[in-house]
Structure formats: C-alpha cells, structure tokens
C-alpha cells in the first residue's frame, strides 16, 4: 500500500504583496505639519474610535480597529468595535476553541504543546487566530499589528499574573529575531 505524507497548507493560496502590505491602515494619522503624532497616541486615547482601546507602550501598537480597513470590513454597520462581534469572541476568546487550534498547530506545524496550557499560550493562539481571520495566511516573516482593542480584550481574558506583556516586534534580520505579541 502506497502511503503519501500529508503536508499541511499544501493547497493554501499564496499571499499577494498588495494584499498583505500595510496599505489598509488609514493615513489620516498625521498632524498639521504632515508628521505622525507619536506623542499624542502614547498619552491619550483620542485616536480610539471604538471605545475599547487602552494606551499601548509604542506608537505602532496604538491603533484602533476602526483605522484598519481589513478589520473594519469584518464589522457590521452597527458595530463599533471588532471585539463586539460573536465571531471574534468564538475565534479569539473561547478557551475550548483555542485549545483545538493549539492541537491543530501541534499536528500541522510540529510544535509541541506544553502542559499545562498557560495564559501566554492562549494569548499567542488568540493573536494568531485573529490574524488568520482578518488577513488569511500571511506567510513566513510577515506580521500585522493587532489593534489595541483586540490586544486589550485578549489580555483581559487571558491575563499574565504580573501584568507584564511582551508586545509587538517587527521582524528583524533573522527568521527568529522577532516574535508575535504574547
């Protein structure tokens, strides 16, 4: 009997460069001189249109779901925040669903699951789930900033005891230089 090895993601569509670039972020974040107002984003929440964001430690993380057209496309006309959607709650906050995703990741990617499952692992899978839901497969070393309201929601559902979180990292020179926010 001839057995073929099953390869995960074999039939996944390839990402198109314009589909995965940062063009979906609105550019109305400029001040009167045409420069990004970094300080104001770090000190107040005037940039948050959904009402669910919290202050983030960096400028790049200080974004609202309403500023991203890919995220906004998932929202219904009467929804103020992506975190209010049932699909979001099912895909990103439901512990049972996240455990199924963890098991799938283990099988497909060959990643091992640590026992017991930690809140950090839940956050990692929740962020991945959100990214897959909004953008589909991004490909290796391609990252997207997750809106502050989503990060806040996931952190509240799966908090770290000491309240310290890693945050978003840009991909640097090597394949493992940066890690997604956990």
More confident residue, 78 or 33: 78
* 24 contacts 138 by C-beta, under 8 angstroms: no
**For 37-56, what is the mean pLDDT?**
85
pLDDT digits (tens, 9 = 90+) for 80-136: 999 999 999 999 999 999 999 888 877 776 666 666 788 888 998 999 999 999 998
More confident residue, 35 or 108: 108
Q: Model pTM? A: 0.70
**For 142-149, what is the mean pLDDT?**
88
Instruction: Give the pLDDT confidence score for residue 150 in this predicted structure.
Output: 95
Instruction: Give the pLDDT confidence score for residue 110 in this predicted structure.
Output: 64
Measured at the alpha carbon of residue 57, what is the angle toward residues 55 and 58, in degrees to the nearest 5? 110
Q: Which residues pair with 30 in a beta bridge?
A: 36
More confident residue, 100 or 169: 100
């Amino acid at each position: 009997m001839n057995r073929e090895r099953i390869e995960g993601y074999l039939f996944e569509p390839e990402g198109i460069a314009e589909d995965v670039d940062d063009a979906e972020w609105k550019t109305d974040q400029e001040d009167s001189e045409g420069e990004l107002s970094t300080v104001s984003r770090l000190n107040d929440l005037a940039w948050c249109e959904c009402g669910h964001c919290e202050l983030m430690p960096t400028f790049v993380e200080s974004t609202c779901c309403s500023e991203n057209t890919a995220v906004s496309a998932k929202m219904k006309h009467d929804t103020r925040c992506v975190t209010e959607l049932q699909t979001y709650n099912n895909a990103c906050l439901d512990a049972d669903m996240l455990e199924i995703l963890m098991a799938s990741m283990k099988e497909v990617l060959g990643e091992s699951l640590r026992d017991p499952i930690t809140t950090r692992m839940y956050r990692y899978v929740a962020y991945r789930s959100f990214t897959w839901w909004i953008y589909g497969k991004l490909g290796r070393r391609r990252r997207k900033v997750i809106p502050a309201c989503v990060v806040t929601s996931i952190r509240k559902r799966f908090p770290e005891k000491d309240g310290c979180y890693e945050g978003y990292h840009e991909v640097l020179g090597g394949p493992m230089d940066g890690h997604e926010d956990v």
